[in-house]
Structure 1
Amino acid sequence: MTLTISPVAFKLGNLSVKWYGVIMAVAIILAVSMAIVEGRKRQIESDDFMDLLLWAVPIGYVGARIYYVIFEWNYYSQHLDQIIAIWNGGIAIYGGLLAGLAVLLVFCYKRMLPPFLMLDVITPGVMAAQILGRWGNFINQEAHGEPTTLAFLQSLHLPNFIISQMKIGGIYYQPTFLYESFFNLIGLLIILFLRHKKHLFKQGEIFMLYLAWYSVVRFFVEGMRTDSLYLMGSIRVSQMLSVILLIVVICLFIYRRRVVKPKWYLDGSGLKYPYSRD
């Protein structure tokens, strides 16, 4: 017997509260909590993270939607009323990350906070939120891969509830949400294990390690998905962006190590001082 998980967590009168929203709310709380705990060690006030949250989350969602609409413009140009209908689905994580990054840079400039240090501090929380957020896709039975077989899923020794949820319309699909979540968890554990090692990370390099790790993971997972956004026919947008980000990260790492020579991460402080590039 196959049992699937309903996308609706509970109802409040006529209002249906979906698991996706619940999971995303928990993911945001987790991300902020992790940032606040680490921020105390770097002399960054908890209010800074809370204020950043108020701007980054809504603008991040807008950025994620705009990114999606741009690469699905053939459809939305004919259905303009659907552009704001985010409740019908259609956001892209890369768009949210890029919008969130822009908000953080402006925020740090206004608050006189070192941007690379802030990025390092919030990175593990962002990763944790992504890991958790993919389970919202799992419940919605979206962001999956190509059709597969029950035998293959069983060979992965997956729990029955995951296998059951991967049966959509009578067909089993690759659980790409799980692949991305799992490998990002490995990346998160590596960062948490290494980030407090002395003379290992310069400011900004924890964030760059995350970008490099996620770019590689997303490149391979994206190649398995059935809902990719495409550019010029056969080029998957997320794969192209993953390659670009990886190249940028490598170049930025070399440049900052050789030319900028920033402070060590563990020597970083968020105590208010006139803004500088490091």
Structure 2
Amino acid sequence: MLSLLAFQFQSPGPILVELGPITIRWYGLLIASAVIIGVFLSQYLAQKRNINPDLLGDLSIWLVLAAIPGARLYYVAFEWEKYAQRPEAIIAIWQGGIAIHGAIIGGAIAALIFARINRISFWQLADLVSPSLILGQAIGRWGNFFNSEAFGTPTALPWKLYIPPANRPPQYAEEAFFHPTFLYESMWNLGVFALLIYLFFWGLKHPNRYRVGTLAFVYMAAYSCGRIWIEGLRTDSLMLGSIQVAQLISLFGIIVGIFGLIWLYQMRHSLPDVVSKQKTINNE
């Protein structure tokens, strides 16, 4: 049975095409594709809730401008010893080295400011963006594949990933095959995406039972559950002493997500439901 599932992953390299001085990299193409798909998806979901989709188009600009620098600065902060010696490499984002938790933090700050300026519900925006965010993460993880980065420990599993010698950690220099953690997380994220879409349309059918903020809190808990175990396989985690930073943040995300849902549904807190917010958020 395992022989039927055998498939050896091997990256063709980080560069898609070179046209003279112009280099198109897989990582950049995937990130750009994720952003474009995410914008259209969030606008589609906004229409389903009778919310002006132009708001989501405007918000997407804020999110990109905040998320990409946030992802890079977060990564650089935990790898400062390396970048302190080569500060010019800080802006070389095309070489890899971004952290999704930094992007989420940067994007959340931007969304809070956007919501305050436009006098709209932050939680409504978070619900509409969460499915796009997790889908974008599923797409973006394949950038790690093309860069031969963010892989796991050595493995002999049928779906092993070949890593070129130049990209292997020193302690595994003699190993050739590793866990394709990019694939694990991409598949997990697609599952979370399906769950969020199901809950979104369930909420449309049961507007009096659905509470705004549900998708955001489910995203926090569900994504973090997958990330916390997948991170344990990786060999290149950002570290805080002996603690993997992503696992620590993921544990926090699980706690916030679970207690957020309890806060919404058991304590009956006063976050407005979808119906009551449609008119105030529809900025036409």
Out of 173, 181, 186, the position equivalent to 1:176 is: 181
For structure 2, list consecutive stretches of 5 or more residues without a partner in the other structure: 1-7, 166-174
Whether the 8 Å contact between 2:67 and 2:104 is mirrored in structure 1 is yes
2:126 counterpart of 1:119: yes
- The list of structure 1 runs, each at least 4 consecutive aligned residues, that deviate by more than 6 angstroms after superposition, is none
Out of 220, 225, 247, the position equivalent to 1:216 is: 225
Structure 1 residues 243-267: Cα deviation after superposition (integer angstroms, max 9, x where no partner): 1122122233333441523233465
Q: Provide the rounded CA distance (Å) in 2 between the counterparts of 1:147 and 1:188.
A: 29
Aligned to 1:53: 60
Out of 248, 263, 267, the position equivalent to 2:272 is: 263
Whether the 8 Å contact between 1:34 and 1:125 is mirrored in structure 2 is yes
Aligned to 1:253: 261
Compute the displacement of 1:3 (Å).
6.3
Number of residue equivalences? 262
Could you say if the C-alpha distance between residues 226 and 3 of structure 1 is closer, same or farther in structure 2, counting changes exceeding 3 Å?
closer
In structure 2, give the amino acid aligned to 1:210: Y
Aligned to 1:229: 238
Out of 194, 206, 226, the position equivalent to 2:215 is: 206
Which deviates more, 35-44 or 265-274?
265-274
TM-score of the superposed pair, with normalisation by structure 2: 0.85
Mapping 1:1-278, distance limit 5 Å = 4-149=11-156, 152=157, 154=158, 158=159, 166-169=162-165, 171-197=176-202, 198=206, 199-232=208-241, 234-257=242-265, 258=267, 260-265=269-274, 268-269=277-278, 271-272=280-281
TM-score of the superposed pair, with normalisation by structure 1: 0.86
Compute the displacement of 1:25 (Å).
0.9
SS at match of 2:18: strand
SS at match of 1:137: helix
Could you say if the C-alpha distance between residues 3 and 76 of structure 1 is closer, same or farther in structure 2, counting changes exceeding 3 Å?
closer
Could you say if the C-alpha distance between residues 116 and 239 of structure 1 is closer, same or farther in structure 2, counting changes exceeding 3 Å?
same
Q: Provide the rounded CA distance (Å) in 2 between the counterparts of 1:185 and 1:70.
A: 29
Which deviates more, 22-31 or 87-96?
87-96
- Aligned-residue identity in percent: 35
Whether the 8 Å contact between 1:42 and 1:270 is mirrored in structure 2 is no
Compute the displacement of 1:2 (Å).
8.9
SS at match of 1:147: coil
Q: Provide the rounded CA distance (Å) in 1 between the counterparts of 2:84 and 2:9.
A: 40
Structure 1 residues 121-152: Cα deviation after superposition (integer angstroms, max 9, x where no partner): 11111111111111111111111101112xx1
Q: Provide the rounded CA distance (Å) in 2 between the counterparts of 1:226 and 1:194.
A: 35
Could you say if the C-alpha distance between residues 195 and 220 of structure 1 is closer, same or farther in structure 2, counting changes exceeding 3 Å?
same
Whether the 8 Å contact between 1:112 and 1:273 is mirrored in structure 2 is no
Could you say if the C-alpha distance between residues 49 and 273 of structure 1 is closer, same or farther in structure 2, counting changes exceeding 3 Å?
closer
Could you say if the C-alpha distance between residues 145 and 237 of structure 1 is closer, same or farther in structure 2, counting changes exceeding 3 Å?
same
Which deviates more, 249-258 or 48-57?
249-258
RMSD, matched Cα: 2.3
In structure 1, give the amino acid aligned to 2:238: L
For structure 1, list consecutive stretches of 5 or more residues without a partner in the other structure: none
Q: Provide the rounded CA distance (Å) in 2 between the counterparts of 1:115 and 1:29.
A: 22
